[in-house]
Amino acid sequence: MRVVVQRVREASVQVAGQTVGSIGNGLLLLVGIAVGDQTVDLNYIVQKIVHLRIFEDAQGKMNRDILELGGSVLSVSQFTLYGDVRHGRRPSFSKAADQKQARQWFDELNSNLRKHDLTVETGVFGAMMDVRLVNDGPVTLILDSERQC
């Protein structure tokens, strides 16, 4: 499982010109699910997202997590995070999970984030989406469950 985490002041996602999810201060998550992802991958990613200390404290240091901030999450599925462009000119998506499996893990990820009392908005799985954001910092990190060790 691979997630691009962006600290945002605001973010929204639109489908066919209609806003389907929006947040203020918090995290925008671009979520890619890989073939073979398991519960251990999901748990690792959820714990990292919830406890990442990337929000500033009173002294301007990154010491607060999303829970301390009281922020929200906008979660957007993005299979292209598993696009492999090492060979040729067209990306290969052979490492990306199939749609059924990816949707199941994406929904479970968001459900588990909500269990931490986070407000979680989402895009529409599998749809063409327009994502807008105001990146705060900018702060952008990549989480990858394959690189846990």
Model pLDDT, residue 6: 98
Q: What is the CATH number of the domain that holds 12?
A: 3.50.80.10
With beta carbons less than 8 A apart as the criterion, state whether 46 and 112 touch.
yes
Q: Which residues contact 46 (CB under 8 A, 6 or more apart)?
A: 109, 112, 113, 116
The 10s digit of each residue's pLDDT in 43-64 is 999 999 999 999 999 999 999 9
Under the banding of pLDDT at 50, 70 and 90, the label for residue 15 is very high
Residue 35, Ramachandran bin (φ over 0: left; ψ between -120 and 50: alpha; else beta):
beta
Model pLDDT, residue 30: 98
Give the chain's domain count. 1
Helix boundaries (H) for 1-149: 39-51, 66-69, 99-114
The 10s digit of each residue's pLDDT in 96-135 is 999 999 999 999 999 999 999 999 999 999 999 999 999 9
The residue from 6, 14, 55, 78 that is catalytic is 78
Pairing of strands 2-15, 18-23: antiparallel
The residue from 14, 79, 106, 122 that is catalytic is 79
The 10s digit of each residue's pLDDT in 135-144 is 999 999 999 9
Catalytic residue status for 78? yes
Three-state DSSP class for residue 105: helix
The DSSP output letter for 149 is: -
The 10s digit of each residue's pLDDT in 65-86 is 999 999 999 999 999 999 999 9
Three-state DSSP class for residue 93: coil
Catalytic residue status for 39? no
List the domain range (segments joined by +) for residue 108.
2-147
Q: Using the predicted structure, report yes or no on whether residue 24 has a pLDDT greater than 70.
A: yes
Model pLDDT, residue 147: 75
The residue from 19, 38, 47, 80 that is catalytic is 80
Omega before 91 within 30 of 0, i.e. cis: no
Mean pLDDT along residues 20-31: 98
Q: State the average pLDDT for the chain.
A: 96
Catalytic residue status for 93? no
Model pLDDT, residue 66: 98
pTM: 0.95
